[in-house]
Structure formats: C-alpha cells, structure tokens
Structure 1
Amino acid sequence: MKRPRKRASSVAVIDIGSNSVRLVVCAAIERSLISIFNEKTLCGLGREVQSTGLLAPDAVGKALTSLRRFRALCRVMKVGRVHAIATAACRDASNGPDFIAKAERICGVPVDILSGPMEAKLSALGVISGVHKPDGIVGDLGGGSLELIGVKGHRVRKGVTLPLGSLALQDTSHKSLKRAERIVRNELSGIAQLKAGRGRTFYAVGGTWRALARIHIIQSEYPLQVMHGYAIPAADALDFARRLRRLVAADMLANIEAVSEARRPLLAYAALVLEYIIRTARPKTVVFSTYGVREGLLYSMLPERERARDGLICAAQALNELLSRSARHAEELIGWTDRLVRVAKLRETDEDRRLRHAACLLSDIGWRVHPDHRGEQTLSLILNGNFGAVSHQGRVFVALAVFYRYAGLSEQNEPPAQLRDLLPPAMVERARVLGAAFRVAHLTSAARPGVLPATHFRSRGRKLMLVFEHRMVDLVADRVGSRFKQLARLVGRTGTIVRR
C-alpha cells in the first residue's frame, strides 16, 4: 500500500528590522513559498541609533510586546521551525545586545544578528528567488541601512552596506532634506556596486520603496495592484522621485491613505536615495521586489537542485494540484501544446514557452466557479496571485490565456482594454491562440488524464489536422470540430478532425 506523503513542516521567520518587526509563516521551505500568515509592527527601533547610539526605549518596549505575540502565534499555529534575524539597528546600537538577549528569551530561539554583507547577500538571494533570471543591482532600503549588491542569474556579487536607511537618514540629517541630500551624495559617490548598473535593472527592495511604488501605481492608474515585479523606466522613476520629494516638502502627502501614517515621513528620504542611485548607476529599469531578506534566508536553506527550479512553474504546479480537477491532465496539456507548437511551426522564445507551460498548469483552476463567472474569476486570481518569478507582462499573458479558455474569444467577452494594453498586440494574439487550444483540449478530454496523449497533430500544406486514435474516436463531436477550426484559423490554417 502506498504511504501518504508526509506533510511538510511549516516555518516562520521573525524579522527584527530597524523600522518594522515582522512575523512571516510559510507552509514549508520550498521553491515557491506559500505564506499562510504575515504581520508586522512599525516599531522604529532604529530612529535614534545614529544620534544617540541607542535603541529608543519606547521602541524597544513596543518590539518586545510584538515578539511575545509572535511567539504565541507560532505556538497556536504549531509552527515546525522558527528562525529569528535582526538587522542594522540591533547590530549598531550599544544596547542592541541587551535587547537581543530579551528577544531570545521571548522567542525561544537564537536571534541571528546579520552582518551588513550577509544582509546584502540574503536580499540578493531573495530577488533571485522571486525574479526570473535577474540581471542588475539589488538595493535593499531598510530603516537603518541600505544594502547594494550585484546579481546575475543565480550569481551574487560582493555587497556593501551604507547608513542610508530611511530612519537613519532622518536621524543624521536632523530631519533636514538639504542635509540628507548632502549625506546621500557623499555616501553614494564612488560605490563600485553602482558603477556596474548602467543599462541594467535596479531591483528596489524594502517597505518604504514599496510605498513609493504604491503611490506611483495609484497616480498612473495602473491596472494591476500587484507590487512585486512592478517595473518603471528609470527615467520615469527619477522624475517621480524628484516630484515626490517636492510634494512631501510641501506637506501634500500628509493624508495619503495608501501609505501608513508611520511611514509617510520617511517617503522623502526613500525618494532621495532612489533618485541618487538612478543618477549614479544609470539603470534602464527600476523593478520593485517584495522578495528580500526573509525570502532569501529560506531560499538559502533549499538544496541546490531545488534552488535551480523555475519559481513560476513551481507556483503553478502547486495551484494545479490544489485547484484543478486533475493535476495529471494539466501536465499532459503541456505535452499536447508542445506538439501543437511544433507541428503548426509557431514561433516561440524560451520565455514564451515557460509562460505557456504555466498557463497549461493553471488552465482548469476555475472549474468550481459558476460557469458565468469563471473567466473573470480566474483572470483576477492569476493577476493577483501571490507568486513570483514572473513579470507583470507574463502574469497578464497567463491570465488572459486562461480567461479566453473560459470566456471564449468573442469580442463581447474581451477583458478590459487597459489590461490588454499592457501587452504588445502579438502577445495578446498568442494568449488568444493558447486560450483557443485550451478550449479544444478541455472539451475533448473533460479535463481527464489519458485522453490528450491519444490525439495528435498533423500538418499538410495550409491544413492542420487533429488526429484521434481509434480508441478515442467516439469523443469526436461537432463542437470539438468547430473549436478546432477556430484554433486553426487563429494560426492561419484550415482545421480538420481525422479519425484513425
């Protein structure tokens, strides 16, 4: 008798940062992390470290109270393993060791005080885990420090730590933006890590930079609300950072609801640092990443073979196993569309291929929804899904392909134009073709495994044929034929069903 698969042990990371103290609980340490709980408290531990050398007493009290709650939550949730880390404020403050001793007694686990280089490395590993084939500079802006480190693919360069965290900068400048500007200019001049950034991507990590991105999304009326992977041309990001500084100076962002009240005073300092990084490094694009030190820590614990796996495909496989009628059918659909692409001689890059495979895995996740709403519901689920290793364009492509599978291809059922406008027309057309292929496959097989491998594609001139093996010929029907003809038309062919 086959033994049931052993349930993976959940894992928690308690992150004692210079501005926030956070608990993140994940279902397991795996390539595509599934967060089951996430809570933070803005304590401001590092707000006076530069001027007094001490963690502020009220911030310490607030942080310890949060840690008691976090430890209790871990007990309630029966978390298997707990890891605790601390960053700049705790390593720089003279009363940091005393605070850490109290934190360890509360948490019941050792607290690892990360060095600056280690914090930079873990930030880079976090970006590697959440961005497909990153190439550029990672900048992690916390409350107490800024880490800069180069990354390319799975390779990490040597990092540097600078005292330019938002709280630290506010403290050392005595809340003067003019003084802060001089400090930032002096600290960033001659930094080797920035010299390698020209024409590449700058990956912005950290809560205050994410707050900037949130404001930009709102002001630009961008159709997606997903923060991870949000990309802005560097020239636009530079203009926005300058404009935001002026708005903060004029107290015109005091009541913005998109950013917490405790974080609003730090926006100008975060914008200032981003501005000077762009001016110095001259990247092509700024991409905001919600994957950072915590994700990098868990990623570093994976075996090398697991780290090398595609994060998007892993996330799609997890959703497929959780939500589809048959996980095996979705895997067969990958092979079926592989054959379609090959026989129909459809042009496809490596990135096109991985997006198609992800869409195959997600093509049946909406089956429990009412038929009238499957298209819109799966569109929303994929667009807003909590997974990484995919750009916003890739996310929209996958979502559109599955939307067309459910909603059909008529003009009356098109998704919002603002969403389609995020993709080049050729990419939208590929999503339509893939959606049409899904409509043929799922109607033919009823999403059951074993059917698609018994159907084959042939091409003769401009004719594309779908061949059914003898044991499956009873599945042929007019609706199957009409859908296949529609698919063939979309790839510039005529379509025919053949019984073998």
Structure 2
Amino acid sequence: MVDIGSNSVRLVIYEVTGSAALPYFNEKVLAGLGRGLPETGKLSPDGVKDALAALRRYRAILAGLGVDEVIAVATAAVREAEDGADFARLAASELGAKLHILSGADEGRLSAFGVQVGFDQADGIVGDLGGSSLEFHAISPHGEAPPGETHPLGPFSLSFDEKVKPADRRKAIRKVLKSSGLLTRGARRLYAVGGSWRAIASVHMDITAYPLGILHGYRMNGQAVRHVVREILSTQRDKEMAAKISSIVGRRYDTIVHAALVLDEVFDMGGFKEVVISANGLRDGVLFDQHSPSLFGRTEVPAGDPLIDGVVAYLRLDHAQYQFGEALLDFVHPILPKGTGRERIYRAACLAADCGGRYHPDHRPDMAYYLLLRAPIPCLSHEDRVLLAHATGLRYTHKFQRPKDFTRFGRESDEQVARVLGAAMRLGAAYSGRSATMLKQASLKATKSKLILEVDAGCEDMVSATVEKRLGQLATFMDLDAQVSIAETIDH
C-alpha cells in the first residue's frame, strides 16, 4: 500500500490473513506536498522532488521483496492542486503502479471503515486530519451512516505563517467548523485519525507517564484534551517545553500546534466525552473496502473477525495449534463468567495459550505476557490487552503477578477472571499434552461447592499427579473443592 498524502508519502507492506493485516514493512517520508498549496494552487516543488524520490525507493523495495500486489492512493493535495494530475502521472510512472486519486467522499468513507475494522463495535465520529483536509464520518455497529464531510482544516490548507497567533488561528478553525452538520449529532466518542493527532497522544502519554506505549485505542477525556493542548500551546513561549515536545514528535512538531487547536475546537464543538486514537485509517479501509473493492482491482474482500485472525497471523498458528486453541476454549468456557462481553478475549487467549512454549521455562510467563501486551493485533482495547496478557502469564505459572504499572487497567473483576482463565488453560494443556483430540475427552463443571474434571471412560490414565495439582490450583482460585469424575460408559 502506497499512500500519498498532503504531508507524508508512506509505504506499508502487509501480511494479510483473513480480515487481519499485520504490517511487515512501514516507512514514510514527510515530503510536504501540500505545503504552500493555498497560496500557489500548486504542489510544493521540494515536496514533489522528495515524493518522487521516495516512490523510486519504494519501487525498488517492492521489487526486491517480490511484492506483486500494489495499491497506491493519493488524497487531498494531489486532488486539489492545479498540477495534481501531472504529478499523479509522474508518480505512477516512478512507482510502476496505477495511482488512484481519491475523492473527498471516498477518502472519508474509507478512513472511517478502516477505523471500524480496528475496533470492536466502534460507535461515534471519525475525524481524519491530514495535511490539507479534515474528514468527518459517522460510524456505528448498526449499519449505514450519513454522508461524510470534508473541511479545509489541515495545517497546509489555511494561509497562515508561523507568526500568526494561536488565538487568530483558533478563530479561523472555528469559523470553518461551524458549517459541519456531523458535529451536532451528539456523539460520545471522537475517533482521531492522522499522524498529527497521534503525535498529540504521544505527548500526553509522555507527560502522564502512561505505561502502555501503544497509540491505537489510547483514550483522552475532556480534562486530558485540555491538559495536553495547554502543554503544546506553551511551546510558543517555553523553550524547554518546546524542546521536550520536539523530541517526542520529531518532524511533526511543525504542525502540532495547529493540530492541537483543531482537536480542541472539534472536541468542544462536538460535545464529545472522549477521544480515542486510531492507528487504523485510510490504508486499512482500502485493504478491506466492502463497498467498492473493484475500485482497487479486487472482486471480493475476506470476511472474519480481525481479532481472531490477527492472533492467528501474529503467532503463525498451524492447523494443530488452532484446533487445540478451539478445543481449549470449549474446555474452559463452562467455568468462565458469562455475559461480560469478553468472550472474544477468552477465545483469543486460548488460541494464544502456547505462545510462550518456545521460550526457556524460567522466562515463559514474562515473555508470553509482554508478547501479547504489545502485539499488533486489532480490536483490542488497552484494558483487554492487559487481561489477555495477564491470563497468558498465569497459563504458565499460577504464581504470576502482572507488573504494578498495569494494575490500574480494567475492571475490578479482571484479576479473578485472569486467574481462573489462566489456570484453566494450564490444566487443559497439562491434561491433554496440548492435543485437541485428547482434550475433547475431558470437561470442566462447577457446582456450588466443587470443581469437577470429568474424563471419558478409559481415559483414567490421563489424570496424572500433575493434572491433579493443576486442578487443585484452579479450584483454589475459585474457592471450590477439586474432584475428578470418570464418565460412565453408556451401553447402546
């Protein structure tokens, strides 16, 4: 995927498994194609030079890796510039692939769909801030949404120089936003897309010492938004703060004040309760476009659950591992809390139950924990990440304690859920030797006073001392007495 935006030109090579796409290679050049566009009506000459050089490099990388499916898109700057069509022809020639210049409506729709495939039951307004434009699109788990909007609010879209006061820039932003119909819908959540808004979240993570350095799914309430905006605006007079924030966001520093002001005004005018940062956006929407895949030369788009497909892809599960994970889910499910909305997390944990198997036994719990905590798997909230990782650490030892920095995440009940899920997976693996066939010969059942492991007749030898020990540990977590039961053979 090659994405030519108003500020950046990016190449991402994906490994696609079902409905999950995991980045294999990711590189961007901040060419600044849209810089000066409002004044000249044309693309930046320096930006054109840098963009074409990047595309030549990308073509060489694609050839070297043998990638033969390339989708290239261009957005607002190329779409609106007088010389945009000329640049597009040059860009396609240098890249050696067809370049699709997206309309504002397609750009907003695809970005919104990209957000939807990156979150479970996404509901709110997507705001995608690029170099030249800001797109709004409503998303809902219930179906169709009203048409999106495009506003000229990217940092390169307004004729400002660096000396313009933030207050004057804020007024200009507010004036443009007054024409928005979507901001008056009363949505609770703003899904923020775009490198500049991710940079703002990086600043907030740093100043609050947030322990989980993952931008996707990072949340900021109104107080947090106001706090980080104040800190960013203070760079206008505080050289020490300017140096600190510059070190955090790198080349995004040139546009971060504008991005902060836009976020502040959008948040206020939309009456939002929280901002959720999305690493997903346009590129993900293009990959899994369900409405017009033929636009990009495809006839169908794979369906599935991005979370489960992401676990399978990231851990490279083979057929036997997948079958064991599914059997393990059937084994543990009867004793897990129902109606919590965490069933997909249970399934993901069972599929990932052997993720630490190749590490040294002394380090398996910690290695498995951090492997899943920071895995590039979609549709995981930060709270769900911690629960998934915690249960997996406990799958390798009942003594596992998650790091103190992460104890504030999730619900109060998650500690108990993780302990029961982890210990149950540990029991299932011990009983079956990690064989789906063997595990299907056993089941778990909890009564008011007992935790019962029932095994098929003829399988008594599978109940070793280790299995009884694991059953006892699980029963202790559940405050129950452990019992092994042999199923009676039914005479037909």
Q: Deviations along 1:35-70, whole A, 9 cap, x unmatched?
A: 111110000111100111111111110110001011
- TM-score after normalising by structure 1: 0.91
| Contact 1:137–1:197 (Cα < 8 Å) also in 2 | no
Give 1:293's match in structure 2, choosing from 282, 293, 301: 282
Q: Which amino acid aligns with 1:55?
A: L
Q: Deviations along 1:341-397, whole A, 9 cap, x unmatched?
A: 3xxxx3442x21111111111111110011111111111111111121111101111
Q: Which amino acid aligns with 2:352?
A: L
CA distance in 2 between counterparts of 1:472 and 1:111 reads 62
Corresponding residue of 1:316 = 311
| Contact 2:37–2:156 (Cα < 8 Å) also in 1 | no
Give the 3-state SS of the residue equivalent to 1:371 in structure 2: coil
**Unmatched runs of 5 consecutive residues or more in structure 1:** 1-12
Deviates more, 1:240-249 or 1:461-470: 240-249
Report matched runs for 1:422-433 at 5 Å. 422-433=409-420
1:379 aligns with 2:379: no
CA distance in 1 between counterparts of 2:422 and 2:446 reads 20
| Contact 2:246–2:253 (Cα < 8 Å) also in 1 | no
Measured after TM superposition, the shift of residue 425 of structure 1 is: 2.3
Q: Which amino acid aligns with 1:67?
A: L
| Contact 1:321–1:327 (Cα < 8 Å) also in 2 | no
How many correspondences in the alignment?
478
Report matched runs for 1:229-240 at 5 Å. 229-240=217-228
CA distance in 1 between counterparts of 2:315 and 2:329 reads 13
Summarize the Cα distance change of 1:230–1:460 in structure 2 as closer, same or farther, 3 Å threshold: closer
Measured after TM superposition, the shift of residue 86 of structure 1 is: 0.6
| Contact 1:196–1:281 (Cα < 8 Å) also in 2 | yes
Corresponding residue of 1:270 = 259
Give 2:346's match in structure 1, choosing from 356, 359, 362: 356
Q: Which amino acid aligns with 1:86?
A: A
Measured after TM superposition, the shift of residue 459 of structure 1 is: 4.3
Measured after TM superposition, the shift of residue 174 of structure 1 is: 6.4
1:442 aligns with 2:437: no
| Contact 2:423–2:473 (Cα < 8 Å) also in 1 | yes
Measured after TM superposition, the shift of residue 255 of structure 1 is: 4.6
Measured after TM superposition, the shift of residue 430 of structure 1 is: 0.5
Deviates more, 1:357-366 or 1:106-115: 106-115
| Contact 1:214–1:258 (Cα < 8 Å) also in 2 | no
Corresponding residue of 1:10 = none
Deviates more, 1:365-374 or 1:231-240: 231-240
Corresponding residue of 1:188 = 177
Measured after TM superposition, the shift of residue 196 of structure 1 is: 1.4
Corresponding residue of 1:340 = 335
Give 1:47's match in structure 2, choosing from 11, 25, 35: 35
1:476 aligns with 2:463: yes
Report matched runs for 1:385-400 at 5 Å. 385-400=375-390
Measured after TM superposition, the shift of residue 305 of structure 1 is: 7.8
Q: Which amino acid aligns with 1:485?
A: G
CA distance in 2 between counterparts of 1:424 and 1:133 reads 19
CA distance in 2 between counterparts of 1:71 and 1:167 reads 28
Q: Which amino acid aligns with 1:482?
A: K
Q: Which amino acid aligns with 1:353?
A: E
CA distance in 2 between counterparts of 1:170 and 1:450 reads 68
CA distance in 2 between counterparts of 1:170 and 1:360 reads 54
Superposed CA RMSD in Å reads 2.1
| Contact 1:404–1:432 (Cα < 8 Å) also in 2 | yes
Corresponding residue of 1:414 = 401
Q: Which amino acid aligns with 2:261?
A: L
| Contact 1:203–1:289 (Cα < 8 Å) also in 2 | yes
CA distance in 2 between counterparts of 1:49 and 1:128 reads 31
Give 1:26's match in structure 2, choosing from 5, 14, 19: 14
Summarize the Cα distance change of 1:222–1:382 in structure 2 as closer, same or farther, 3 Å threshold: same
Summarize the Cα distance change of 1:126–1:54 in structure 2 as closer, same or farther, 3 Å threshold: same
Measured after TM superposition, the shift of residue 173 of structure 1 is: 7.7
Report matched runs for 1:4-19 at 5 Å. 13-19=1-7
Measured after TM superposition, the shift of residue 234 of structure 1 is: 2.9
| Contact 1:320–1:361 (Cα < 8 Å) also in 2 | no
% identity of equivalent residues: 35
1:96 aligns with 2:84: yes
Measured after TM superposition, the shift of residue 339 of structure 1 is: 3.0
Q: Which amino acid aligns with 1:274?
A: L
CA distance in 2 between counterparts of 1:313 and 1:14 reads 26
Corresponding residue of 2:440 = 453
Q: Which amino acid aligns with 1:439?
A: R
Give 1:160's match in structure 2, choosing from 149, 152, 158: 149
Summarize the Cα distance change of 1:231–1:120 in structure 2 as closer, same or farther, 3 Å threshold: same
Q: Which amino acid aligns with 1:476?
A: V
- TM-score after normalising by structure 2: 0.92
**Unmatched runs of 5 consecutive residues or more in structure 2:** 488-492
Give the 3-state SS of the residue equivalent to 1:464 in structure 2: strand
Summarize the Cα distance change of 1:265–1:321 in structure 2 as closer, same or farther, 3 Å threshold: closer
Summarize the Cα distance change of 1:354–1:192 in structure 2 as closer, same or farther, 3 Å threshold: same
Corresponding residue of 2:393 = 403
1:466 aligns with 2:453: yes
Summarize the Cα distance change of 1:239–1:189 in structure 2 as closer, same or farther, 3 Å threshold: farther
Q: Which amino acid aligns with 1:376?
A: D
Report matched runs for 1:106-185 at 5 Å. 106-153=94-141, 155-169=144-158, 171=160, 175-185=164-174
Measured after TM superposition, the shift of residue 270 of structure 1 is: 0.5
